[in-house]
Amino acid sequence: LFLQFVFHSYTTGFTLVNGNGTLKAEGDVIQNKQILCSLGAIPYAACVGALPLVFMNRYTLKSSLTQFVVRNILPAPLLGLMSAFTVAVVRSPEFEYGIEVMDRNGKVVGVSQKAGEKAVKETALSRGALFGATFLVPNVLTYFLQRAKLVKRPHALTAVRMLLITSVLAGMLPVSLSLFPQLGEIKRADLEPEILSATEETELFYNRGI
């Protein structure tokens, strides 16, 4: 639970700092709302992430299949899901209040809630894919290495697992960042009426955030 709390505290803080910059100019009320959302998202995500292990230990589930699923399979998709969840919660004011959309020349045309929703969804999906894959692949590979008795010593197994996590993270980081472009595009027809009347551009752009 403590490690989950530390992990989600870091990623939530990163999300808070690296979101779209539109809301930072809107005053302290919105920023305070984001901070409150962050404080609620962190313990919730930590508790959900730790729940499978707590449940298994509480009810002493000892079968090998249960141990494999709970220890090696379930934590990774839960971590990816909770990572996406924290992004959506922390940046929820972006699709509530909207973010700036620009034309091809970088001129701000207006503030769009639909662009904000699209930016948050894309960032949440990329974050979930990053951490879900980063922890799922090493867990499964480590389990089969252990079953095949290719690595026998616990310390060596831990070192191999950390090496696998580092390698997969290094590979997944550029993949997750490239899933959606940093400068996102949205069709003019998908925007609000007030923006439609402000420009004739067929495609507009927004900063997705990280």
pLDDT digits (tens, 9 = 90+) for 92-107: 988 888 999 999 888 9
Quote the pLDDT of residue 39.
92
Q: Look at residue 29 and give its three-state secondary structure.
A: helix
Q: Look at residue 186 and give its three-state secondary structure.
A: strand
Rounded mean pLDDT of the chain? 86
Asked if residues 41 and 104 have their Cβ atoms less than 8 Å apart, the reply is no
Instruction: Work out the end-to-end distance of the chain between its first and last CA atoms, rounded to an integer number of angstroms.
Output: 26
The H-or-E segment that residue 140 falls in is helix 113-147
Distance CA 200, CA 76 (A): 45
Q: Would you state the structure tokens that stand for residue 144, as one six-digit string?
A: 């089969």
Strands (E), the chain: 99-102, 108-112, 183-187, 203-207
User: Above pLDDT 90, what percent of the chain?
Assistant: 38
Buried b (16+ CB within 10 A) or exposed e, 70-87: bebebbbebbbbbbbbbb
Quote the pLDDT of residue 155.
81
Domain boundaries, the chain: 1-207
CA-based nearest residue to 91, from 14, 130, 24, 34: 34
Distance CA 172, CA 20 (A): 23
Q: pLDDT tier at 201 (50, 70, 90 boundaries)?
A: confident
Q: Render pLDDT for 178-200 as a digit per residue (tens, 0 to 9).
A: 889 889 999 988 998 888 888 88
pTM: 0.86
